[in-house]
A and B are shown apart, each in its own frame.
Chain A
Amino acid sequence: MRFRTDLKNIRTFSKLVAALSSLEKIAWVRLDNDTVRFTVIPEMTGSQVWASLSLDLIFDNYHIQSAEANNTINLELALVPLQRALKSAANSSYANLRLTKRDGLPMLSMTIHTMTKDGGGGGGAAAAAPSDRDNLPRGTAGFNSTDPFADNFQQESLELTMKRELEKVITQDIPVRVLHPETVETIMQPKVREPDVHIQLPPLLQLKAISDRFTKLAMTTSSGGGGSKTSNPKLELSANMHGSLRLRLKAETLDITSVWTGLDNPALDPSHINMPMEEHPSVKFKEAGPEKWATVRVDGKDWSKVLSVGRLDGRVIACFADEHALILYVYVPHYEEVGEDVVTYYVSSFSS
């Protein structure tokens, strides 16, 4: 079993991991010849995520080899150490990841080539300004104090003799478990019926700010009224096929609603639908007019965790199955090449 790859788009990778880890600390990673898939399924209730990424989004020089079909390797890893390691790699000149063993335990070992922040890879000029003091040869400090202007002169003259900063090699070993194929074959991606409404969400930061505000309000009022503190507040989310999204909080004492209008209901690709277009539920919803809403209820706190995916800056399409399910497709943009990858959120929802 071998796995080795260089890393690229570390910021995107890091943001994805951060978004995932807000839902659950442990993820299942499935690597094969074609894709890398991160799956997060909360132990208790909560939304689950299936992030299927093409290899060239975050990997480069990818090598994988295993006894399984399509060279599949299944790993379980803790997201926080991975995030930490990616943070280390954030400003690196080069980073790679490989599966290895240390003291008999499997590890994902990340090797990072980096400079310290004030070092800078370029010439002395770039690096000099804030840090030259640190790079003064020893022994000058004493000399310094005898001449009040010495500091200024030294900054200029010693730049030439300044030691060039060399690259450091950092190794971060992330503990992993190698999963047997049998243990994961029972984990299936949820199957959901064709959605009634699909709509592009407004900027998630906006949606999150308002959702969080509603959630906090609900928590304040329910605990103040002596209500049950055990269940988290539920938010009601509705959308129609005429570009509107409605977020509603209904509690004993208050009922507030935010509505977005003018949103896009993207057209469906007929090739992806195995039924006549006119029979598709969304078409029926569209015909029913703007008062036909598809509604689901989400847990306010869980929803907030889901919306943390906004840090990826992707386009988000929400698919509503009325009183049944909510699925978010987050399209992760590729910065260099054309193409998109999709992260799928199966948002846990509640019936009224």
Chain B
Amino acid sequence: MAVLNFTLSEEGVSVFHDALACMFKFSDDVCLEARSDRLTLSTINVSRSAYMCCTFATNRFFSRYNFEGNAQYRDRFFCQLWIKSLLSVFRTRTGGGDFGRGDKDAAVESCDVAVDDGPGKKSRLVTRINCRNGITASHSLSFEPKAPTHAKFDKSTARNHWTISSRTLRQLMDHFQPGIELLDINTDDESRLVNFTCFTEKIQKRGANINEAVLKKPLHTNIAVEMDEFDDVEVQDKLHVIISVKDFRAILQHAQLTSGDLTASYGDPGRPMKLSYSRDGVICDFILMTVGEKDASIQKHKDSRAKSSDAAKAGQQAQPGLDSASQRPSSVTGKNVNQQTSERPNQPLSTPTRLPAVRQPGFEMRPPPLPAPVPAPVPPPGSARSDSLFVQQDDDQDQMWEPVNQDEEDEEEATDNSRLEWNATNEPNPSLRISSYLSKLRPEPSQDGPAEHLASGLDPTQRLSEVRPLGLFSP
């Protein structure tokens, strides 16, 4: 009998995928925690400055849900999984659903998930995607029995809070230029406005020409939103809290997909900030580290960030060892965390108190999947992989005015193997080269739009994207 067993609807699959995609911007792995009334996915980034947690209400979100406690997992089951593998399980399906709107058969109908674990059993999470056309795809994922680390947020210290439509907030973010790092959420002294200020602390290269460097600074953007625009707003005067733009973007990207209103609550600068939103049976909470004034503290923050990320890395490395030692988990981890907190008193996270104190002796110990859990150069939280949230700099119409001088194009040309040239090999069929060259020039239907336009008998070597603006084709 499986420990955990549930079924996701078609929509459930995509909600799951969206949540995981957002988590992937913060971390590589996710902790799954199942209880009889709720299922929780949570993750924390390596520098431990951002924590995300999605809670799914079992009676509302799942079409079927069954948690069967056993000796080992009495009230809850937990494990840690690779987000990447989960994403690939869900991704293709939802993608396929979007693509072939006409091809409804290929769409996902439901997804069954079962987790098997316990003494003498093979520990696997098995997913089965059922498509409408009757095809099923099963995936069996291994996992690590690791208890989730939850960040604690003390509501009583969070005196400041507001609620606003996540879509509005997301669209405001479009006004920020790429390349900025920090977002300062602040209020003026009359408490009429909430300002979102984006800036960067990146020190420009003080090269030979300092004047040029001045011009290379990115835009400094401030967005003032009237208090009236917020619901349930209460913010101190002249308060500045600073968070990472990338984290904030990742959150908004997800928030606008999932739901309407986003609530933020926070205390003094340097204390954690909580952002949350919910939708039918799903609650998403984020806890982010904040910093205060934008002067020296940022530099300090960055340093401690680096340090703590080292510490976190060390912690990660230490953890699997701990598990196998299984006796005194709290001492080493505790020390680790203390060290962090002493470096940075504002560490938002509580000591991971819920580490499994006692392991079942009969428990099958998997060798720690090294070096996997420590991805080589750890990217800063949410940075490397966060999709750009910006609207494209140029819409299509602008694109056609771009000069031909695109470097990428040069590279493309340079690597173009089917270029028209004499065949150096002794291949007997030189004309093949030319035809392959022509086919290279011919627009690829997937890229340049419907290929049937070519039926008008135009020179096949014209790129469609070049010809279309001439008005030769009706779109």
User: Which residues of A are interface residues toward B (Cβ below 8 A)?
Assistant: 18-19, 22, 26, 76-78, 81, 84-85, 87-88, 102, 105, 107, 116-119, 131, 133-138, 141-142, 144-145, 163, 165-177, 205-206, 208-209, 211-213, 215-216, 219-221, 223-225, 300-302, 304-305, 307-308, 310-311
Contacts and interface: CB of A to CB of B under 8 A. Distances in A.
A223 B410 CA distance: 10
B380 interface: no
B229 A163 contact: yes
A209 B466 contact: yes
Contacts of B261: 134, 136, 138
Given A84-B219, A171-B222, A223 B413 contact: yes
Contact of B224 (A117, A171, A176): A171
Contacts of B175: 88, 170, 172
A81 B177 contact: yes
Interface in B14-60: 60
Interface string B172-214: 1011010000000000000001000000000000000001101
A233 B266 CA distance: 60
Nearest to A18: B398
Contacts of A18: 394, 398, 401
23 contacts: A22-B402, A84-B219, A84-B393, A118-B171, A135-B260, A141-B259, A141-B279, A141-B280, A144-B280, A163-B231, A166-B229, A168-B223, A169-B193, A170-B222, A171-B223, A172-B221, A176-B215, A177-B215, A209-B470, A216-B409, A301-B404, A301-B405, A308-B403
B419 A224 contact: yes
Interface in B137-179: 163, 165-168, 171-172, 174-175, 177
Nearest to B174: A88
A85 B167 contact: no
A211 B212 CA distance: 34
B302 interface: no
A102 B260 contact: no
Nearest to A77: B215
Q: Interface size class for chain B?
A: 35 or more
Residue from A84, A102, A135, A311 with most neighbouring chain B CB atoms (10 Å): A84
B86 to A, nearest CB: 25
Nearest to B409: A216
B420 A212 contact: no
A169 B167 contact: no
A174 B221 CA distance: 9
Contacts of B281: 145
A11 to B, nearest CB: 11
Given A88-B175, A163-B229, A212-B466, A305 B224 contact: no
Given A134-B168, A141-B260, A84 B280 contact: no
A85 B223 CA distance: 12
A302 B171 CA distance: 36
B384 interface: no
B370 interface: no
A173 B176 CA distance: 11
Contacts of B300: none
B217 interface: yes
B136 to A, nearest CB: 28
Contacts of A134: 165-168, 260-261
A95 B223 CA distance: 13
Contact of B421 (A105, A173, A215, A224): A224
B417 to A, nearest CB: 11
Q: Which 3 A-B pairs have the closest CB atoms?
A: A301-B405, A304-B404, A305-B403
B178 to A, nearest CB: 9
A170 B176 CA distance: 10
A141 B217 CA distance: 43
